[in-house]
Structures are given as C-alpha cells and as structure tokens.
Amino acid sequence: MTDNTRDWPLYEIFIRARSGLDHKHVGSLHATDARMAIEHARDLYTRRQEGVSIWAVRSTDIVASDPAESDALFEPARDKVYRHPTFYDIPDEVKTL
C-alpha cells in the first residue's frame, strides 16, 4: 500500500458510545475533508457497534498543553488536599455518593 495519506490532514475522532454518555476520544485518522473524516471514523471506529454519534476535529485545531509545562500547570494542585470534599460527614442513608 502506498502512503498517499501523508498530505491528508489528521482528524481526532470522538465517539459517543450510548445516548447520555460523553463523546470519548478513540483515536485519529487521515481524511481530505470533514465528510470523509466522518465516513472513515464510521468505518474504522464504529464497525462493532461502538457508537451512536461521531465528532471529528482537525488535530491542528486542538490547543494542547505543553508537557514541558507540566510542573507549572499541575504540580501546584498536589498539596491542596482541602480542595477534595473529604471533610463532610456522610449520613448513613446516603448510599451512592
């Protein structure tokens, strides 16, 4: 197989497994346009009934955090345990909180 897809834009694919659930990222694929992205996503990621809805986003349109900035972005949250709501007394009647 020749790799003609090098020039095709990359799309990130999100699938909603069932009504009521969130769209989850499942992978990426190449497509020349939005219509083809949905068709390829359908053929690649829903062939075993994995989903009821597809989102496709051009990978270049996703703004991502820089792994090099992880320390600055995420470390400061580590010692802020008081942000977790663990200081409440849960009444016995509440089973599923």
Partner 1 sequence: MSASKAAAARENAGAEWSAHCHFVLRLADTSLILAQRLGEWVGHAPAIEEDLGLANISLDLLGQARMLLTHAGELEGRGRGEDELAYLREESQYLNMTLVEQPNGDFGQTMTRQFLVDAWQLELYERLQQSQDARLAEIAAKAVKETRYHLRYSAGWMIRLGDGTEESHGRMQAALERLWPFTNELFAADAVDLEVAEAGIAPAPATLQLAWTERVAAVLVEATLTQPQTTPFPWFGRQGRHSEHLGHILAEMQSLHRAHPGATW
Stretch that binds partner 1, among 38-46, 48-56, 75-83, 89-97 (CB under 8 A): 38-46
Contact stretch for partner 1 (CB under 8 A) within 34-42, 52-60, 67-75, 78-86: 34-42
* Spatial distance between the Cα atoms of 16 and 46, rounded to a whole number of angstroms: 10
The three-class DSSP label of residue 70 is helix
Binding status of residue 53 toward partner 1 by CB under 8 A: no
CB 73 within 8 A of CB 65: yes
Distance CA 97, CA 95 (A): 6
Q: Which residues bind partner 1 (CB under 8 A)?
A: 1-5, 8, 29-33, 35-36, 39-40, 42-44, 47
